[in-house]
Each structure stands twice: as C-alpha cells, then as structure tokens.
Amino acid sequence: MRLDKQQRYARRRIMAVGALLSLAMIMLAARAVDLQWLQKDRLASLAEKQRYRQYTVAAPRGPILDRQGRILAESIEVPSIAAMADEVPEDDYPRLARALGVSTRALARRLRGRHGFVWLARQIAPVQAEKVMALGVPGVRRESEWRRYHPLGPETGHLIGFVGIDGNGLEGLEHAYDAQLKGTPGVRLVRRDARGRSLPGGSWIRKPVPGKALKLTLDASIQSVAYAALAEAVERQQAKSGSVIVMDPHTGDVLAMASWPGYNPNDFRRFKPGQWRNRAITDVFEPGSTMKPFTVAAALMSGRWRPDSRVFCEHGAMRVADYVIHDDHKEGWLDMAGLLARSSNIGAAKLALDLGPEPLYRLLYDVGFGQRTGIGLSGESPGILPPPERWGPVETANIAFGQGVAVTPLQLATAFSVLANGGHAVAPRILLDAGMVDRGQVIPRHVSDQIVRMLEYATSPEGTGSKAVPAGYRVAGKTGTAQKPDRHGRYGRKFMAVFAGMAPAEDPRIVIAVVVDEPKRSIYGGQVAAPVFRKIAENVLPYLGIPPRMQTMPAGFDVQSVAAVAPEAVQPAGSLIGLTLREIRAVAARRGLRVRIHGSGWVYRHKPSSLDGLKPGDMFEVWLDD
C-alpha cells in the first residue's frame, strides 16, 4: 500500500515535470517564432545599428569673394572633441580635463549621469586636439567641423558679418544670404567593433554639398584704403564713430562700405551686439548742407531759376514764421554756384519756399531719400522724409538745407551718384551678379551737369570743400555740418561732419560719402570729412587706372569757368556783382586792368558800374562783403 502511494507520487512528479518541460518547449517554440518571424525585421535593424553607425557630416559654407575673386570669408576644417558620456571612466576625468583646459568639476558636470553623444570642446586648435586624443581615454572621439574665417577681419566685419558655432549666419551678408551660403550636410556609414569603436573605412550614403559662392561688387583693396582713412580721421578727431561708402555711380556697384569702430568677426563674442551693426545702412543722420545740391537741382528743374539767377541771402539772418535761419557767413547776393560754394542756408531756404513742398519732395524721393535702397542687407533703414502735406514754411525751409530729414550714408552716396551719372537713379548693389537696376532719368542731363560744375566750384579755394581735392585731380562735392537733435528734437552742441562728392569731376568714376559722428577737434565737414575723401580718392583713382593731371582745376574757376555751367551765367553789361576775389583778379589780368580791392568774400559793389568802357591800364575798384 505504501509502495502504491510512492509510485503515484512519483508519477505525479514526473507528469508535473513533463508538463513544465512541455510548457517550456512551447514557450521556447513561441519565442523562436517571435524572434525568427514576428520580430525578424526589427532585430535585424538593431543588429545593423550595432554593427554600423550613421552620422551627419557638415558641409562647408560657400566662400565670399570680392570682385577680383579675392577671399573675404571662407570655411576651414577644424577639429572638435566629443565623447559618449557613459563610456568615459571617471578615473580619467582629471587628465582629460587638463588636456581640454577646463576644471575637473566642469568636465564631470558634462559627463556624469549622462548617456550618448556629448560635445567636450568645439573648433579647437589641432595641437590641442592631438594632445587630447593621445590620452587614449575610452569613449572620447575627434570630430571635424567647419569654422568661418574672415581674412580682412575688422575691415569687412560690419558688412560680411559672422557665423555661429553651428554654422548659421548671424549678421551681415552671412545672415542675409545664409540660404545660399549654407551647404547640404552629408551622411556617412561606418562599421563598429564589439566595443562600439569605429573601424577604418566606411561609405557615403549622401555626400555633403558645399554652399554656393557669393561674389561681391566690393574691391578688397579699395575697402582697405577706405577703412584706414576713416579710422585715422575718427581717431584724430576723437569722434564717436564714422562711415564711408565708395560707389561706381554708373553701375551702382558698392566698391567699399566701411564703419568705425570696427569689430573682428573671427572673435565676435568679445564685442557687444551694438558694435556689430553696419552703420552705413542702419544709422540715420540729418544730412545738413549736402542736401543743398538737390534743392538747387529742383529749382533749376522748375524753370523758375537759372544757374545765373541770384538770390539775396539777407546778410546772414532771415525770419521764417517764428523761426530765424542763420548762415555762418553773412552773404548778400549769390548765384546758384555761389550758394553752394558758400553753403548758404538762407539761399537754399528761399529757393524751397519759392518752389513749394511738392517739387522738392518729389526730387528728394526720386534720388533715393525716404526709402530703402534695396541693396539686400538686413537692417537697412529707409531714413526719414516727411510727406509734403506735413511741410509748413519752417519745415520747407529746414529741409532745403538738410534739417528735418534723415538719411543713411548709403542713401547719400546713392543720391550723389544720380548727379554723377547724368541724372539716372541707379540702385546700389553689393552682389556682382545681381544685375544693374536703372530706375530712370530723374534729373535732366543738363541740370545734373550744371550741378556737378557748381559742386566743382564748391571744392575750389573759394568753397568749403577745398580740402577734398587730391593733387592732380578735379573733384565735385559738398560739405555738410549738421547739428544732431536730441531725443526731444532740440538741436544741441553735437554735430555730424559730412562730405559727399565725385571724382574726377570731368568724368566721375567714383562717388564717396564720408560721415563722422561727433568729432571733437573740429565740427566742420570741410575740416573733418573732406580730408578723408581726399585720402581715399588719391589712392583709389590711380588704382582704377585714372592718372592725375597737371592741372587740377579748370582755369582757376574764373568767369569763363562759371559760364561753363551755363552760357548765360556771365553777368551782362560787364557786371561783377557776386564774383569772388579770385575771379576778380582773373578778369583784371585778362583785360589788363588794375584793381583796388576793399574787404573780402564776394563782390557787392564796384566802380565803375560797368567795365565795358575801360582800357588796359585803367583802374577799377571793388567792394567785397564776407
């Protein structure tokens, strides 16, 4: 009986074990089915990922070149150090930190408790990268990245801009044309061993495609000259800042665009964001007397005024409504050339008040004020040009001599290019393949030619811009000394010194606009900005193949040269009213007369009243009012 019990118990145990084995076999079979059929694709993919690794390979950005093909910005390959955080032994933290140049605590914060890929040091020197890799720390790897390099550094910093560590353009042309410059990343496949280390070789799934090159109208040599001349002037004048534009007036090509103080885009983090902006397109200022050529042009276009028309300048003070306009020099009667040469606010105001707001507004807008130039740079300001319905008598008078409006240096250079190229409004461009945009004839050719001759007179010894003339060349241009309004619109004791002009005057090849903000040693455009123009022109013109001539100015700007502006400019019946001392001496020498001179400046009376009856050797007297 006892034996039967034991046998039954044994059979039950055998059956239980058999059942368990059967269940195990069923489970193993089910698992095999699951692994071999149901999860086949997933497991194959996991195995593939363990044996192979795909990683993204950054593409280099396209280079930025000047018009001659010289490199202004390029991408260079540099090493970076990364790690698989969970694979780096903590015992190796101290020596790895020393090689990286960081504290052990800082390195531990980056690695401890993390998994997967971590950057340890990006875009470092090759020597340092070799030092790190020589340690042989598990999980630490060397990666290649692209770093942007700007050979001219601060000279082109404001224009070219810079690129962030992840390869995105953040300022300047690098930002404005980021989509074009940015390449397409590639994907590479490499095999790994059992410990996850990459094996030699590999294959491309998709090769990286470099970004497209950007070729500019800029000339690196002209840019360097402009930057150096501006920097010297700002430092010498202890000024706040400055900007220079050099343009080809016929094509709109910007040959140079410089601002000071500069910043180095190769190390942009050392500078404040306010120092990154391109002042030549973002900062606006009241143009002052550089607006007067366009006021005179509007007057000539109206048909109400001619080059020989004279305007009485009230001996230095004129009331308009409850506002008094002043001139630095007390002037009497001036013709149009004299108005620009002597830079009379009152003369310009009288022309504008005679014309009314609409004609002057239309011309100012047509030459480019009050609107963006469309050059394609981020942050460009449209300036300020109030609509004509908001111009009362005071506003009309002020705008005529450059107050109550605001322009950028680029707008000023663009407007003077209209005068230099025969009256066509040509849009400025910075990309060489952008195509020239001629917006049409906005000033008649004969009027623009007359203004250029008058502006050449303004750079004669009798004008305010004589310091802009390099030896052997003729220059046409205008100075400006503009008061800066404060935040309440009141004019204080801070000034902008400005000069804008063209050279050579007989066939302009370049237009240069110079703006110096808050100079300390002198406030006048003729003393501060004009010499910058001269320094740039005397270097750039020979570089462009335009040699100097022996005679810098035609015939000393005597009566015959004034007549060249328009034949009717010579005074009838032998009158000398409004001529300068130099012109008087030229007239006397040509006729063989003796002259007695009283005062200085411009003739307001002479005796006899006509020279027609005088013979060689006779005496005449002139009285000049300064």
The whole-number average pLDDT for the span 235-253 is 94
Q: What's the CATH code of the domain at 609?
A: 3.30.10.20
Q: Within this chain, do residues 297 and 316 fall inside the same structural domain, yes or no?
A: yes
**Does residue 560 fall inside a structural domain?**
no
Q: Within this chain, do residues 494 and 579 fall inside the same structural domain, yes or no?
A: no
Q: Within this chain, do residues 523 and 592 fall inside the same structural domain, yes or no?
A: no
In this structure, of 34-43, 69-78, 331-340, the range with the lowest mean pLDDT score is 34-43
Q: Which domain holds residue 586?
A: 571-625
Whether residue 582 has pLDDT greater than 80? no
Phi (first) and psi of residue 492, to 5 degrees: -110, -140
Amino acid in the structure at residue 248: D
Whether residue 569 has pLDDT greater than 90? no
Q: Is 614 left (phi over 0), alpha (psi -120 to 50) or beta?
A: beta
What is the per-residue pLDDT across 402-434, written as a single tens digit (0 to 9) for each?
999 999 999 999 999 999 999 999 999 999 988
End-to-end CA, the chain:
150
Edge-first strand order for the sheet with 619-625 is: 594-598, 619-625, 602-607
Amino acid in the structure at residue 40: K
> Tell me, what's the pLDDT at 571?
39
Q: Within this chain, do residues 527 and 588 fall inside the same structural domain, yes or no?
A: no
Integer Cα distance of 154 and 268 in angstroms: 10
Residue 592 — pLDDT band, cuts 50, 70, 90?
Answer: confident
Q: Within this chain, do residues 576 and 445 fall inside the same structural domain, yes or no?
A: no
> Tell me, what's the pLDDT at 379?
87
Residue with more model confidence, 255 or 61 = 255
Please check whether residue 246 is in contact with residue 511, taking contact to mean a CB–CB distance below 8 angstroms.
Answer: yes
Q: What's the CATH code of the domain at 294?
A: 3.40.710.10
Integer Cα distance of 434 and 204 in angstroms: 36
What is the per-residue pLDDT across 68-95, written as a single tens digit (0 to 9) for each?
999 999 888 778 888 877 778 888 888 8
> Tell me, what's the pLDDT at 166?
75
Q: Which of the residues 80, 259, 289, 561 is marked catalytic?
A: 289
Q: Within this chain, do residues 349 and 422 fall inside the same structural domain, yes or no?
A: yes
What is the per-residue pLDDT across 529-557, written as a single tens digit (0 to 9) for each?
999 999 999 999 999 999 888 554 444 44
- Among candidates 605, 555, 564, which has minimal Cα distance to 582? 555
| Mean pLDDT over each residue of the chain, to the nearest integer | 84
Q: Within this chain, do residues 388 and 434 fall inside the same structural domain, yes or no?
A: yes
Which pTM value belongs to this model?
A: 0.77
Whether residue 574 has pLDDT greater than 60? no
> Can you spell out the DSSP letters for 483-511?
EEE-TTS-EEEEEEEEEEEEESTTS--EE
Residue 268 — pLDDT band, cuts 50, 70, 90?
Answer: confident
Integer Cα distance of 526 and 466 in angstroms: 7
Q: Within this chain, do residues 66 and 34 fall inside the same structural domain, yes or no?
A: no
At which of 198, 215, 232 does a domain end?
215
The whole-number average pLDDT for the span 263-278 is 82
**Does residue 44 fall inside a structural domain?**
no
Q: Within this chain, do residues 394 and 326 fall inside the same structural domain, yes or no?
A: yes
Integer Cα distance of 551 and 593 in angstroms: 26
| Cα R_g (the chain), whole angstroms | 38
Q: Within this chain, do residues 141 and 257 fall inside the same structural domain, yes or no?
A: no
Integer Cα distance of 540 and 342 in angstroms: 28
Integer Cα distance of 356 and 494 in angstroms: 30
Q: Within this chain, do residues 338 and 451 fall inside the same structural domain, yes or no?
A: yes
> Tell me, what's the pLDDT at 50?
58
Please check whether residue 278 is in contact with residue 172, taking contact to mean a CB–CB distance below 8 angstroms.
Answer: yes
The whole-number average pLDDT for the span 585-594 is 78
> Tell me, what's the pLDDT at 2?
59
CA separation (Å) from 154 to 36, 160, 268? 65, 10, 10
**Does residue 289 fall inside a structural domain?**
yes
**Does residue 187 fall inside a structural domain?**
yes
- The count of domains in the chain is 4
Q: Catalytic: 221?
A: no
Integer Cα distance of 524 and 135 in angstroms: 64
**Does residue 612 fall inside a structural domain?**
yes
**Does residue 559 fall inside a structural domain?**
no
Contacts of 575 (CB under 8 A, 6+ apart): 609, 610
What is the per-residue pLDDT across 302-332, written as a single tens digit (0 to 9) for each?
999 999 889 998 888 899 988 899 888 888 8
Residue 194 — pLDDT band, cuts 50, 70, 90?
Answer: low
Integer Cα distance of 6 and 1 in angstroms: 9
Integer Cα distance of 531 and 165 in angstroms: 41
Integer Cα distance of 546 and 550 in angstroms: 13
Q: Within this chain, do residues 206 and 292 fall inside the same structural domain, yes or no?
A: no
**Does residue 502 fall inside a structural domain?**
yes
Instruction: Show the 3-state SS of 272-338.
Output: CHHHCCCHHHHCCECCHHHHHHHHHHHHHHHCCCCCCCEEECHHHEEEECCEEEECCCCCCEEEHHH
**Does residue 60 fall inside a structural domain?**
yes
Integer Cα distance of 445 and 468 in angstroms: 25
Please check whether residue 337 is in contact with residue 561, taking contact to mean a CB–CB distance below 8 angstroms.
Answer: no
Backbone CA torsion sign across 395, 399, 402, 408: positive
